[in-house]
Amino acid sequence: MILLLSLIVLSAVMIGVFVTRPAVTASQGGKILAFLVLFLLPSVCMTMGVASELERSTSTQFCLSCHVMESHGQSLYVDDPTYLAAAHFQNHRIPADQACYTCHTNYAMFGGFRAKFNGLHHVYVQYFGKPHNPIRLYEPYNNRECLHCHLGARSFEDGAVHTADPDLLPAVKANKISCVSSGCHDVVHNVGQLSNVKFWKGAR
């Protein structure tokens, strides 16, 4: 970030030279310098800036910076292992600093792009619209997002409940039975119940 900001300041100062003394471009060297300063440097700064913002948009802190997401952030600290999101977050089954993005991105082709596009819609709703209360997903949660990590894992493939019915795992893998809404792992964020639960204070 500091490197990028330094590059932006350097670019702005050098552009300032061309603004105050455009005659500098009369010489051959001046023309080459002008190309570097008025074309290459701003392009590099913009590309790096957008990449930096895209990376920042995957952070948990970024997602929870909207007021409407506060209760979902609190649900990550519920002191109850049956809360799916809290159990994943607190036990670092997902990266704690990218908790929202890890579970709510789409692990299909262009999934990251779709997540960003949905993010733009979130921003629009936050500032110009009215968010749903309670917040709901655009489409039912796809098992693909769970299987991205759990597929092939011993606890998933050989789990007693998962193997009790031989038809269960194929149906889960084919997204015919939902992991989170078919009565198995259906306590996810449950933000409506947060007033009745204990909270973990976090790692010290």
Q: By CB under 8 A, name the binding residues for other proteins.
A: 1, 4-5, 8-9, 11-12, 15-16, 18-19, 22-23, 25, 34, 38-39, 42-43, 45-46, 49-50, 52-54, 56-57, 61-62, 65-66, 119-120, 122-123, 126-127
- Of 15 and 168, which CB lies nearer to other proteins in the complex structure? 15
> Which residue lies nearer to other proteins by CB, 72 or 88?
72
The CA distance from 147 to 179, in Å, is: 10
Among 82, 90, 93, 111, CA closest to 184: 82
| Distance of alpha carbon 95 from the chain centroid | 11
Which residues share a beta bridge with 78? 199
Cβ at position 144, least distance to other proteins in Å: 26
In angstroms, give the least distance from the CB of 111 to other proteins: 19
- Report d(CA 107, CA 102) in Å as an integer: 9
Closest distance to other proteins from the beta carbon of 8 (Å): 5
CB of 101 to other proteins, least distance (A): 13
14 vs 87, which CB is nearer to other proteins? 14
Give me the least distance between CB of 115 and other proteins, in Å please. 13
33-71 burial code (b ≥16 CB/10 A, e <16): bbeebbeebeeebeeeeeeeeeeeebbbebbbebebbeb
Which of 61/163 has CB closer to other proteins?
Answer: 61
Measured from the CB atom, the residue of 127 and 138 that comes closer to other proteins is 127
Axis crossing angle, helix 41-56 with helix 2-20, rounded to the nearest 10: 150
Under DSSP, is residue 199 helix (H, G, I), strand (E, B) or coil? strand
